[in-house]
Structure 1
């Protein structure tokens, strides 16, 4: 089954500032709670063909994968696909000016991938969004508890806000 996750947030900073921070994979552990480490496999900065190794926590387990940048329009869009990993994934970040004075940024980081038993939990979360959760039963990732969050909520947006404006 293919799973598509779409979340977006409006961030009170210029599009260029938000995009520069979010498009640099080295910043990901500071604003995306599931990412624990990032290693460049090709020299920075980001460009089409760049490869970056990520380690994340997913369903209570360590997940290591390599993303390749397949499209990059600075300040507008970045697409990464797994070049190596346990299953195919794609992440597309988009940034667009938002607001009357275009002084804010609308950021959308949809992710898609293949997973076996996934359902959408329609209970409202703090931000009013929905979260995808793994279902128990045959085909569930081994050792993954039924109902473990896939982090499809907006915790990434709060992390990015903290990265842009530390207390």
Structure 2
């Protein structure tokens, strides 16, 4: 069994409620995730436990389409989505905590069990995912810190 479990985190100089509200809104994903090309709500907004959101992304040169289901949501603390579709069932977790004086620590975790060729390529997938997540979190920080108090 090859499990991919990638944890990345960043500190953003914005209050936790601001970071959590922006990052947990699937409509903002295109702005801060380089690999996400489209987002389509399959249930009513806003996101809540049970909501379904379809994403189109590219990863390692492949086009991926998948629908996440929100499985946990604790405002300003935790947002968890899961998909069981495709060759790489995945759970994505966002967690936020205070990092002092209006700063927020955001953790991004992707965990899943690839099947088929993905099992063999799991170490390559994990490394590519870590690089992408690190860049995406830096982009998120740039967006939120440049937005200042208007967010």
Report the TM-score, using the length of structure 1 for normalisation: 0.77
Q: Which secondary structure state, in structure 2, belongs to the residue aligned with residue 150 of structure 1?
A: helix
Equivalent residue for 2:109? 110
CA contact (8 A) 1:66 1:85 kept: no
State the shift of 1:61 in Å. 0.7
**Equivalence for 1:18:** 19
Q: Answer 1 or 2: higher relative contact order, Cα 8 Å, separation at least 6.
A: 2
Which residues of structure 1 form unaligned runs of 5+? 120-132, 135-147
Distance 2:44 2:128 in 1: 30
Give 1 or 2 for the bigger CA radius of gyration.
1
Q: Give the match for residue 39 of structure 2.
A: 38
Structure 1 residue aligned with 2:70: 69
Question: In the TM superposition, what is the alpha-carbon distance from 1:111 to its structure 2 partner?
Answer: 0.4
Contact (CA 8 Å) 1:65, 1:86: kept in 2 or not?
Answer: no
> 1:162: which partner in 2?
142
Measured in 2, the distance between the counterparts of 1:45 and 1:20 equals 11
Deviation by residue 1:42-71 (Cα, 9 ceiling, x = unmatched): 011010000000011111010110000000
Q: Is the 8 A contact 2:26 2:53 kept in 1?
A: yes
CA distance in 2, matches of 1:56, 1:64: 6
CA deviations 1:63-93 (Å, max 9, x no partner) are 1100000000011001100053332100110
Which structure dedicates a bigger proportion of its chain to helix? 2
Shift of 1:162: 2.9
Tell me by how many angstroms 1:23 deviates: 0.3
**TM-score if structure 2 supplies the norm length?**
0.85
Runs of 4+ in structure 1 off by over 2 angstroms are 83-87, 148-151
CA contact (8 A) 2:84 2:90 kept: no
CA contact (8 A) 1:33 1:156 kept: yes
2:48 — aligned with what? 47
